[in-house]
Structure formats: structure tokens, C-alpha cells
Amino acid sequence: MKKIRKALISVSDKKNLYLLLKNIAKYKIQLISSGGTFKEIKKLGFKCLEVSKYTGFPEILDGRVKTLHPKIHAGILSKRNHKSHLKDLKNNNFEEIDLVVVNFYPFEKTLESTNSHNKIIENIDVGGPTMVRAAAKNYNDVTVITKSEQYNKFIEELNNNNGSTSIEFRQKMSEEAFTETAYYDVLISNYFNKKSKNLFPQKKIIYGNLIEKLRYGENPHQEAAIYSESNKLNIKQLHGKQLSYNNYNDIFSALIISKSLPKNTGTVIVKHANPCGVSINKNVVKSYKLALACDPTSAFGGIVSCNFKINKKLAIELNKLFLEVVIGNKIESEALKVLKQKKNLRVINANDLKLNDLQNVVSNFNSMLLQFSDTKTFASKNFQVVSKKKPNFKTLKNLIFAFNVCRFVKSNAIVLVKKDSTVGIGSGQPSRLDSCKIAINKMRQFQTKNDNDEIIAASDAFFPFVDGIEILVQAGVTAVIQPSGSIRDKEIIKFANQTGTILVFSKTRHFRH
């Protein structure tokens, strides 16, 4: 146990400060503070000595230097059972500081509120992290508190031990303190990397705030949790039981597709991280029904993501099928009442989620693969018509829609589309020909044949041989979109021209492994 006699308090976040001070006062702990914290402590009616009077040295450089003084840091870093340390303190007339309560300038909030580089720089804390690191290093003798959320635990510790703290408590607070300083430094490092457009610096630090510990991972024997770079996810659960690891994985797969669709348009159904139906029909109920019709068998137990506000009429339709999760860009109150009739159905509002500078991280064998997400918006200029037969505006629009969906299907990927909806999806096959066969079989299984319907096919990479595009044309496909780049591109173009098939090349490939 270590008795606390002297404490240094310097906090930007002054929440619950009165509660902390009231309990510290019980044990006659001397307080030292500076700047706004000193003023607040005095205002709250507690005795406090200003840092400049304690050190005998004034604050300088507009407050940039106030706690950076040997009397402060010697008091924090000195080992209480080390004779030479005790001698140094005595010779310099320094005193031990037993408690450091510090949280930092709000750098993260500043980033969110301004683009002013000068304001951002001025909100980089120097003295605070320095004191915290010193106290955390010397946890054997010093208690360090870095967040107002820790006050209750600290007060309980004080009261249980008559103004002292245990080594176990100090070590735990030290662990959390080093996490705070590391997180703070990462924010600053990433800010400078982003400003200089250094996308892949020599040292890359991945950081996140714990959102929640999950019941388990992909399987019950795997532990799991979800983290976010911000203090919250930009999706909000409105109803249903706790989301699982697999739920989150499917939700993210569904959202990256639905958010890539035209504004306030589109329904996506996902199962096992793959889309099994997508429609951009502007009628919201019809959009869902068309997406469902693509593969109603796979949709059972899946996730529906709507790139629009869900209304009551659609909610009634959604409740007819067993679903794990329903996502909307807001859910009308009457619709939410309907969806809540299924107590386990997870209902998510994703209205605040945006596709901005997303990065994907894959980690294995203590290594990381890092890349930016494939979310750029397609335009006509990204494609080249290479066949003699040319698409009209409507056909080209459907080709681009099919290709957009295709890039989010696990490779090798084939997507078949009629009008504004998918009718067959083949995913995740080592052979592109097998993916073609799966997509065709899905279409034949679930779609009513109509010779007047134009069937469009998209492939996420080029066809290495004619057999892939040939089997699609034999199934009724009249237009194909694929990336260029094969040594047999000329053979593919020749086949398209021989069969009167529209062929469009993408200038970029879009694998999703």
C-alpha cells in the first residue's frame, strides 16, 4: 500500500471533478494544479497550490511550459526506497508526488471540429503525456489516473484503503495510462501522415476503441471483439439481440454494397458475406421482392440492407422471411413496431455511415495486409465498348450496375442482371467457368423465362478463354462487361462480334478475395 499525500491534477475534461476532489479532501491530500484546472478547483471551493508557486518558476511561452520542471518530474519519478533518489530530493528541496490525475488536450475532438493546422498543433499536449508516462513508469510508488471514467474505481480504492492504493490498482492504472499515451500519439502520427499523403509510412500503427466484446468469434471456441477508430460505430442497433462476429462481418459486406448504389435506392441481401440478391428498382417494396427473387433459398437467415428509409409496408414484407438483420437508412416508427414483433431480429440504422477513405486490414501470422477499399464510383468514362454492337443508355446503365455488384462478390465472380435487378450470382469458385454455371443455374432455378428480357452478365476479371463468355451467351446473355487484360482479349471480342453480343471492357480489374 502507498499513502497518497500530494497530488497533481491537470485535466482538460473536467467532468466529475467535484466528486473526485470531495473524496480526495477526506484524506487531507495536498493539491497542485495549473491553468484552467487550478481555477476550477478554487472555484469549486477546494484548497490548491498553483504549479508556478510550487516550482518557483512562472508559466512561459503562453502556457506551453508549466509542468515541465525538475521539481514536478523528480517528485513523480523518484523511487521511494532508493537512497540516492531520496538524497537528491532532499538536496534540491523537492517533494514526492504520489498521485497524478491528468487527461490530455482534446486533440481527437479538435480534428473533428476544425481543419485549421495551427489549432490542431496547439492541441497537441506535451506536458500531460510526459507526466502520465512518468507516473505510469513509477507505478510502484505513484498512482496515475487518466480518464474521468476511472474516478469511481479510484475513490473506491481510496476509501477501502484509508487514503492509500494497492500495487495491483496502481499497476492496472499504469497499463491503462500507457494505452492512453500510445493512442494519443497514434492520432497525432496519423494526422501528419494523412496531411503529407504518406499512405503507407515506414511504421504503421493500427488503433481502435473497444466497442464491445462479442460472445465469440466465427466459432464458439474463438474469442472476439469489435473495435472502431472512433468511440462509436456509425451504425445504431435499434432492436434485437446482441450482434455476433458473423453478423458484423455480413453487415459490413451488405453495407459496402448498398452504400455504393444510387442515393436512397437499392436493396441488398447478403448471406455469408456474399450478396445473393440486389435490386435498384425505385419502388422500395418491389426492390426488396426483386432482390429476394434472385435467390430466395440463400436469403433465408440472411441480412437485408436497404439504401433508403424503411416504411411499414416494406417491414410487413420483411417479417414474412426469417432474417438475422435488417438495415435501413432510418426506419419509420410504424415500421420499427412491425419489425420488433420478432424479438431476436436485429434492426440497424445505418443512415450516418459514409464510404469515405475506407481501409481494409487482413491480419495473419503476425503480419498485416493493408489496402484502401474498392469503393470508387463508376462512370461511363471508366469503360470502353469494344464490340461492333453498341449498348443503348439503358443497357450501359445496367452493365455498370451489374459490374458494381460484381466487385463485391467473392472472386471468381459472375453476376447476371435483368433490368435493374440481379437474377443469378456465382461466387467464390476457383474456376470462372464454374461461377458462370452457378449463376446460370440460379437464374434458371428462380426466374421465369421471358425472351423479351435482356440478360446482362458481369465478370470481376477478364475471361481467359472463350468458354466462359460462350456458356453465358448460350444461356441467353446479350451483353457482357468485364475487365480487359487477357492475351486472348481479341478472341473474346471476335466471339462477341460473331454472336452479336455487346461487349464492354472495364479499364480496371475488381477482384474481391
Q: Active-site residues: which are they?
A: 137, 272
Neighbours of 207 (CB within 10 A): 15
Cα(183)–Cα(126) distance, rounded to whole angstroms? Answer: 14
Q: Report the sign of the C-alpha dihedral through residues 296, 300, 302, 308, in that order.
A: positive
Cα(56)–Cα(370) distance, rounded to whole angstroms? Answer: 51
Q: Is 67:129 a contact under the CB 8 Å cutoff?
A: no
Q: Is 458:414 a contact under the CB 8 Å cutoff?
A: yes
Please provide the DSSP assignment of 384-429 as one string. Answer: EE-SSSPP-HHHHHHHHHHHHHHTTSPSS-EEEEETTEEEEEE-S-
CA nearest to 31, candidates 3, 7, 12, 50: 7
Q: Is 301:322 a contact under the CB 8 Å cutoff?
A: yes
Cα(262)–Cα(191) distance, rounded to whole angstroms? Answer: 31
Cα(478)–Cα(501) distance, rounded to whole angstroms? Answer: 5
Cα(481)–Cα(491) distance, rounded to whole angstroms? Answer: 15
Name the DSSP letter for residue 98: -
> Cell for 408?
463485391
> Cell for 18?
467535484
CA nearest to 423, candidates 282, 275, 250: 275
> Cell for 216?
465469440
> Cell for 506?
472495364
Q: Name the H helices within 139-281.
A: 151-160, 167-195, 245-258
Three-state SS annotation for 334-354: HHHHHHCCCCCCEEEECCCCC
Neighbours of 444 (CB within 10 A): 13
The amino acid present at 102, given as its one-letter code, is V
Provide the greatest CA pair distance for the chain: 98
